[in-house]
Every structure is written in structure tokens, then in C-alpha cells.
Structure 1
Amino acid sequence: MNNSIHVIARDQLSQQEEKEVLRLLLTSFSAKFGTLHLKLAEKLNILVYLERKYSQQIAPVDYIAKKENKIVGLLTIAGKNNYTQKLAYPFDLVKKYGFFTIAHYLLLLTALEYRPADEEQYIENIAVYEKFQKQGIAKELIQTAQTNTKKGEKLTLLVSAKNTHAKRLYLKCGFSIVKRKRKVLLGFLVNEPNWLFMEWSR
């Protein structure tokens, strides 16, 4: 497989790489942002703004898959110390994009937020551009994260119960379903109320 995996803290990315990472996330999770009638560039501007203005003291770690030096896949890990303070309301974004749009973003980010415990590494995102899917990139990213997990630590993630393809991949990679969760807010925002919390430990 002609891929290379780079492990890098989010705050070590160049501005262009950071923008490309967020573009990949937006493209991969377009359904979650589909109710927002904005152009991709506008959605990207909002995410870049939130990422830079409210960056955490310890940046999440990105496992970046590159093919011919282009970012094609991403897995983001967050540990307990990645989470510090709550966001202040971004009134300057509201002036530009409107209250409803920014409120939707913040509600979605809040609904997806999870605070890992000690000895826990939480997989926030796994994303691969559509034309590079079914090439083993996501599996390779997960296995790299597993290799870098210390003894006694565990990897956890949250996946939609109806995402059978992702669930099958995680099970193949040794994850097990720990609990089923019903998230009413996510059901309202993205029509996905049923979620599975999965875990892998070394």
C-alpha cells in the first residue's frame, strides 16, 4: 500500500495542513452539517475560526494518512488533558453567519463532546476521502493508533448504531461494544439518536 502515516499534534500542523484536515472532516461528515445551507468554504472558515480561537492547551493528536504527499485520511485522538475550558460565545461569527448557524455548530460540537478518563485515549474522528475509501486506509490508521497505545491504556470511540460499515471495521480491529447510548440532541441535530460506545485495550 502506497500510503504513509504521520503522527502529529494538531498545533504542529502548518496552516495549510490544518485547513486541509478540517476540509477532510467537513467532507467526510457532510451529513452532520447538511442542514446548514452554506458553501463548503464558509463552513470551513467557521471551523478554522473555532479551532484557532479556542485551541486547547494540549492539542489533540492527528494520525494523518498521506498518498503522494496529499492528506487522504485522518484519525484524531484526544486524551483527558485535551479538554480545558468551555467556549466563549463567538459573537463575531454570529454577525457574519447568523445566530442560528453558529448556535447549530456549537450545539453539534457540544453534543459530540466526550471527556476521556485517565488511561483513556478517545478517537474523536476517523475520516477518509471517498475516492480513497476501501483501500485499507482507515484500518491502517486505527492499527497505528493501537500500536502507539501504552500498556494499560484503552482506545474508545462513539459510532452511530446505523453505521454498519464503520462498526464492522472496529470489530475487525478488536474493538468491542461496551454500551449503547441514546443521544436526544444528536437525534434532533443529525437524525442519529442511537450510538454505540466501543473500546479496545492493550
Structure 2
Amino acid sequence: MSSPPFDIVAYEGQDYAAVCKLLVESFKAKFQALVTLEDQDIQNLLMQVWVQQPNSTSGKQFVVKENEDVVGVLSLKWKAPASSFPKTNLISLAPLIKQFGCFNVFTFLAGMYALEYKPAADECYIDHVAICSSHRNQGIGRRLLAFAQQFTVASGFHALTLHVAHQNQQAIRLYRNLAFEIEQTQYNFLRHFWFKEPVWHLMSWRGTKLHSRREHC
């Protein structure tokens, strides 16, 4: 019996809860390093502070679906065009603090800030890639990374980049097998403080260079 097909499709608003649940499952250790909350509460907090903009000019998210179930997610971002004005999403802290506690809210936000990265011009950055635990070791991660490489070339970016902790040697081997190379290795104080992972690599993949970049609206 053949395995069911997996489709990589553009993220839609209806996928929001499933994506947040998947991210909490995949990066559980990182979230637990920040807050003293149960998984469901972490998901609820993430859903209230992580605002997705479907029409963003500086990023795009894709999901892997098996039938209608989200089993993987890929988030890409790049430098916003100079002509676009950044949209600010104001978060009301009072209800969050009442629900989750002051310590949890502020450490959560501080940890998310520590993971932020601003891509350079003509750089496409993998903000995160995650696979459901029940669907790992089925080649979905490779497919998502290959999809990101194709997107990079088709969109006219000169490089596809990502950050990975030095401790995550399994992921580094996967990226190397897909022609990513370590471009920079740096000590990151904030990530060391929050996640106990001091050394991070910026890895890059460089495909065919195109002269112009398409709009991603």
C-alpha cells in the first residue's frame, strides 16, 4: 500500500491553530526553556503574540498537508521593499499577564526577540521549518528545503539562509547534504542565556542568480 501524498501549499488563516500547535510540538524544548506552562497554554500564548500577515511583502509561509491535516510548515522571510511601510501589531500585555503570568509573558517575548534575524537585500531566510513528530523520517523536511531552494531561485534571491545551533549536528548534516555551507559562526549571548545554546551557524545555499525579484504579495 502506497503512502499518502503530501502537498505543499500556501498558508491560509484557517491553518493558524494547527501551525501553532505544530511549532510548540517541534520546538518544545525551546519554549519550555522560557516559560513554566503546559503545552496547551504555550500554544494559546503563541497564538496571541505571533500575528501572521497573509499579504506581507516581507515573508511567506507554506504548509505541508496530508489530506487536510497540517503535518509540516516552512516560513520564509526577506527584506521588505523600501516602498512598503512596516505594519505594527500592538499587543495588549495586560490580559496576557492576567492569563499567563508576568514572568511567562516577558520571558516568552524576550526569547522570541533573541531568535529574530533581519535578512539582507536579496537574501531569503528560513525563519523556521517544522515537521509533525508522526511524519518525520519520511523525506518531508528534505522536500520543504528543496521547495525553499526552488522558491529562492524563482524569486530572484541570491541566497537562501538559515540559523542552526552548533549542538544540532543532525540538522547540520542534513543541510550540508542539500548543499548548504556554513557562512558564519558566532557566539550569541541572548540565545545562550535563554536557550543554553551559545554557538550558532549561519548557513547559506546559493543557487542561480537572477537579475530581478518578483513581488510576493
- Compare 109-118 and 146-155 and name the one that shifted more: 146-155
Aligned-partner Cα distance in 2 for 1:107–1:153? 31
SS of corresponding position for 1:81: coil
Alpha-carbon contact 2:124-2:157 (below 8 Å) kept: no
Q: Larger Cα Rg: Structure 1 or Structure 2?
A: 2
Q: Unaligned stretches of 5+ in structure 2?
A: 208-217
Displacement of 1:2 in angstroms is: 3.5
TM-score (norm 1): 0.88
Match runs of 1:1-202 below 5 Å: 2-9=4-11, 12-14=12-14, 17-35=15-33, 36-52=35-51, 55=53, 58=56, 60-81=59-80, 84=86, 88=90, 90-150=93-153, 151-202=156-207
1:61 counterpart letter in structure 2: K
Alpha-carbon contact 2:59-2:76 (below 8 Å) kept: yes
Aligned-partner Cα distance in 2 for 1:87–1:184? 27
Aligned-partner Cα distance in 2 for 1:104–1:84? 25
TM-score (norm 2): 0.82
Aligned length: 197
Identity %: 29
- Map Cα deviations across residues 135-178 of structure 1 (whole Å, 9 max, x no partner): 11100001011112134521110001110111111111111000
Q: Unaligned stretches of 5+ in structure 1?
A: none
Aligned-partner Cα distance in 2 for 1:41–1:30? 11
Q: Say what the alpha-carbon RMSD is for the aligned residues.
A: 2.2
Counterpart residue number, 2:211: none
Deviating runs (4+, > 6 A) in structure 1?
A: none
